[in-house]
Chain A
């Protein structure tokens, strides 16, 4: 079946502009996660949604970052007033649930470049 999809695949923006990144999870997956991967760094957790529960926002680096998930499916990560340090690959993942063994499946990512 279809995997996790993300759009756009690449985004170049100017410092100070707002950007929106989109994630379509695997159908039937109730949990959705956002991570980012800076050049040469490991994956950094940002936020996750599980069903109708309040999202875990503990990884968001500043109040310029926000995310929403509409209808329990598609999610949008918004970065306001982008800074050069926001340049990274933003990866979305989904899983059936959040039990220990529920595997997270990753999308191809959005490469964000802030000039």
Chain B
């Protein structure tokens, strides 16, 4: 079967660091994506990992361990505009299999 788990909600303080975890069990694996989705808007691409290790992109980093079926998204120097849902998705052949998403609230 296909199963992707993320925490439902997280809260963090402006300027802090937050880590959003994602665990997966899927029949296929062609890479793992993180998307950001603000309320009422389309998901926008954040990061892609296919090999084990850390990918850094500005304030955002994403980590993958294929043997553990585990990824995390790290957000540094949090800003109020980072309040959004963060979606973990595994690529299985062409399609993306999404988790339920993690709603992050950044407080002043």
A59 touches B95 (CB 8 A): yes
Interface residues of B in 84-101 (CB under 8 A from A): 87, 89, 91, 93-101
Contact, CB under 8 Å: A45 / B42:
no
A101 near B94 with CB under 8 A, answer no
**Closest Cβ–Cβ distance, residue B14 to chain A (whole Å):** 26
Total interface residues on B, CB under 8 Å, equals 24
Is the CB–CB distance between B44 and A106 below 8 Å?
Answer: yes
B100 near A42 with CB under 8 A, answer: yes
The smallest C-beta distance from B103 to any residue of chain A, in angstroms, reads 10
* Cβ-defined partner of B31 (8 Å) among A4, A45, A100: A100
The reply to whether the CB of B53 lies closer than 8 angstroms to some CB of chain A is no
Return the contact of A42 from the options B87, B91, B93 (Cβ within 8 A).
B87
- Please list 14 pairs of residues, one from A and one from B, whose beta carbons are closer than 8 Å in the complex, sorted by A's number: A42-B87, A42-B98, A44-B98, A56-B95, A91-B43, A98-B94, A100-B50, A101-B48, A103-B45, A105-B45, A106-B35, A107-B42, A108-B41, A109-B42
